[in-house]
Amino acid sequence: MCGATKGGLPTDGIDMSKQAVVQGVVTREGEPVGGAYVRLLDSGGEFTAEVPTSATGHFRFFAGPGTWTVRTLAPKAQPVDRSVVAAIGEVAELEVTVT
């Protein structure tokens, strides 16, 4: 089994004193899901951004501080919504499992 990288994406080179980072990994049965789409929705549910997951299932957003919804859309899976709070200087780390 390949498995997803533990500990998330590195933040080397990111000035965390000025950034709020939302990042994570999408998995299915313990394996990374590459090519899924992850959307960032604001507190009112409005679309803000979308990124594809990497081959290792990882994604990252630079967001403003506040409460966000991360919506994951993967092939042959139901959409998964997760709420996350982003804060300047912190990394909000998510693990999203799709079925």
Which tens digit of pLDDT belongs to each residue from 30-76? 999 999 999 999 999 999 999 999 999 999 999 999 999 999 999 99
**Residue 86 maps to a domain:** yes
CATH number (domain holding residue 85): 2.60.40.10
Check residue 12 and give its pLDDT.
76
**Residue 39 maps to a domain:** yes
Total domains in the fold of the chain: 1
* Predicted TM-score of the model (pTM): 0.87
Range of the domain at 83: 20-97
Check residue 56 and give its pLDDT.
95
The share of the chain scoring above pLDDT 90, in percent, equals: 81
**Residue 9 maps to a domain:** no
The burial class, CB within 10 Å (0-12 / 13-18 / 19+), for 70 is buried
Q: Reduce the secondary structure of 42-66 to three states and give it as a string.
A: CCCCCEEEEEECCCCCEEEEEECCE
pLDDT of 87 strictly over 60: yes
Rounded to the nearest 5°, which phi and psi values hold at 41?
A: -115, 140
**Residue 1 maps to a domain:** no
* pLDDT tier, 7 (very low <50, low <70, confident <90, very high otherwise): low
**Residue 6 maps to a domain:** no
Closest listed residue to residue 72, CA positions, set 52, 93, 45 = 52
β-pairing verdict for 37-41 and 47-52: antiparallel
